[in-house]
Amino acid sequence: MYVIGLTGGIGSGKSTVGEHFKQRGIDVIDADIAARRVVEKGTPALTNIANHFGIESLNGDGTLNRAYLRSRVFDNSEERQWLESLLHPLIHQWVKRALCSASSPYAILETPLLLETDQHNLTNRILVVDLPEELQIARAVDRDNNNIEQIRSIMNVQISRKERLSKADDILDNSGPLSYLSIAVSDLHHKYLKLAAEQESKDL
Ligand code: ADP
């Protein structure tokens, strides 16, 4: 399967771009969904988390108490690392399985952590959704009703814009209107169909 890694900072437009690819019949695997699935009620990872962080990390109904967990790892890099070393391999495996069952001419892996984790090893090409930071913050604040500080603190743990752009094979400038985004996705879609077909003929 020819896989495009779709990434960008919070509020850059990954989900919006992912939707546009879906509308063109492309299977989009969402790493945020993987991150939720691997800690669903009854999973070994959730038991592990409860053993490590205590019973407060579970809600009354046995699901993960995300707010509590966030508060435990927010300012504690050791605990964050513990959690990441538990979850990242599980997310990686979940994504890998989902990509294996994709059936469109190519697949998209939509993930905020493509470049921060080894998820990029699952991809053939990297597409970065980009926009100036001020616009990124404004859109993220608008969407989540979060304050600027919360968005900035999330941005601070993500790779910098400059570094992200330096790893991109393709850059989608999402500072324009949605009509422009649609045209840009169409262009990329045709390019990826061609690249996937070339890859397939090489593999034969
Ligand atoms: P991400 O998944 O990268 O966090 P989203 O796709 O959710 O970002 O986009 C963030 C917000 O910006 C959403 O409310 C979305 O509707 C809006 N948005 C995305 N692209 C555009 C655009 N080109 N013009 C205006 N608003 C946009």
Domain coordinates of the chain in residue numbers? 1-26+104-194, 32-103
Q: Which atom of ligand 1 is nearest to the CA of 174?
A: 23
Q: Does residue 146 register a pLDDT over 90?
A: no
Mutating to test ligand 1, I would choose from 15, 16, 164 the residue with most ligand atoms within 8 A of its C-beta, which is 16
Separation of 11 CA from ligand 1 center, angstroms? 6
Question: What is the pLDDT, as a whole number, of residue 154?
Answer: 85
Q: Does residue 59 register a pLDDT over 90?
A: yes
Separation of 47 CA from ligand 1 center, angstroms? 35
**pTM, two decimal places:** 0.94
Separation of 79 CA from ligand 1 center, angstroms? 31
DSSP state of 121: G
Q: Which atom of ligand 1 is nearest to the CA of 8?
A: 3
Whose tokens are 């538990």? That residue is: 86
Ligand 1 neighbours, Cβ below 6 Å, are 8, 10-16, 139, 143, 174, 177-178, 181
- Sequence-ordered list of residues with C-beta below 8 angstroms from that of 34, at least 6 positions apart, any chain: 91, 94, 95, 98
3-state DSSP assignment of residue 30: strand
- The mean per-residue pLDDT over the stretch 71-84 comes to 92
CB neighbourhood size of 123 (10 A): 21
CATH architecture of 1-26+104-194: 3-Layer(aba) Sandwich (3.40)
Separation of 12 CA from ligand 1 center, angstroms? 6
Helix or strand holding residue 57 (H, E):
none
- The mean per-residue pLDDT over the stretch 167-178 comes to 97
Q: Is 127 in contact with 168 (CB distance < 8 Å)?
A: yes
Question: What is the pLDDT, as a whole number, of residue 157?
Answer: 81
- Homologous superfamily, domain 32-103: P-loop containing nucleotide triphosphate hydrolases (3.40.50.300)
CA diameter of the chain: 54
| Nearest alpha carbon to residue 34 among 102, 100, 111 | 111
Separation of 52 CA from ligand 1 center, angstroms? 36
Q: Tell me how far apart the alpha carbons of residues 4 and 119 are, in angstroms, rounded to a whole number.
A: 11
Q: Listing from the earlier edge strand, what are the strands of the sheet with 125-130?
A: 27-30, 107-110, 3-7, 125-130, 170-173
**Hey, do 1-26+104-194 and 32-103 end up sharing a CATH topology, with the first three levels equal?**
yes
